[in-house]
């Protein structure tokens, strides 16, 4: 783990009113840095450039790079959960797929994709990160489960499979999509695949 030591001299004094704005500035800037350079390539110097802040200001909020990345990944999971609450997890997948085909790298979905790719990579290779992330990854699962429960109560969800199983199914599809995009595999049919996934969880009424 990369440590970022600092002392009181290098930490700028800011009022309480500015702390949350500074934290948001750090997350927004570092998200782009991690997406562009990956976890290992996001050095202190690059994070300072991306956020426009000194290391003292950064580490007033986050004790080290891993804590910053975890907070960033958790923040993105919360934003994804908001999309899930309104439109479902398949829409999150569509957003990620659409962004992977776009040249526009300045949208929230582009940031989500970059962060999610790096989360998936570290989950496969870093046991300590996997343990810490497990404590922070429940919000997206809970949002997906709540959305499916609402669809079930509305009569729009198939009722021969439990909500818990359908939640796990959709999460596996999400991870599969992220892995597929990370490996640079062909993606021309993926939109139709997501159509199939969405159709597979719907309730089909007898005509």
Cα distances (angstroms) measured from residue 159 to each of 75, 85, 147: 33, 20, 14
Q: Which residue matches tokens 């999150």?
A: 92
Q: What is the pLDDT of residues 77-94, one digit of tens each?
A: 888 899 999 999 999 999
CATH number at residue 25: 1.10.10.60
Residues 140 and 55 in one domain: no
Instruction: Give the Cα separation of 2 and 126 in Å (integer).
Output: 14
Please give the full DSSP string across 2-37, using - where no structure is assigned. Answer: -B----GGGS----HHHHHHHHHHHHHHHHHHHHHH
Same domain, 77 and 56: no
**Structural domain for 199, as ranges:** 69-207
Q: Express each pLDDT in 21-70 by its tens digit.
A: 888 899 999 988 988 888 889 999 999 999 999 988 898 889 889 899 98
């Amino acid at each position: 783990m990369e440590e970022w030591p600092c002392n009181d001299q290098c930490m700028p004094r800011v009022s309480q009113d500015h702390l949350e704005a500074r934290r948001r500035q750090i997350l927004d800037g570092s998200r782009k840095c991690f997406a562009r350079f990956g976890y290992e390539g996001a050095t202190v110097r690059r994070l300072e450039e991306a956020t426009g802040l000194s290391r003292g200001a950064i580490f007033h909020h986050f004790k080290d790079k891993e804590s910053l990345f975890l907070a960033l990944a958790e923040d993105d999971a919360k934003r994804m959960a908001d999309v899930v609450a309104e439109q479902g997890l398949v829409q999150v997948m569509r957003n990620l797929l659409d962004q992977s085909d776009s040249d526009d790298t300045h949208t929230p979905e582009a940031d989500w994709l970059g962060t999610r790719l790096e989360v998936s990579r570290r989950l496969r290779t870093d046991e300590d990160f996997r343990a810490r992330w497990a404590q922070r990854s429940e919000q997206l699962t809970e949002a997906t489960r709540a959305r499916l429960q609402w669809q079930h109560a509305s009569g729009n969800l198939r009722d021969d499979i439990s909500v818990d199983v359908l939640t796990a199914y959709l999460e596996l599809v999400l991870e599969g999509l992220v892995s597929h995009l990370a490996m640079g595999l062909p993606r021309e049919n993926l939109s139709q695949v997501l159509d199939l996934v969405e159709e597979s969880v719907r309730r089909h009424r007898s005509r």
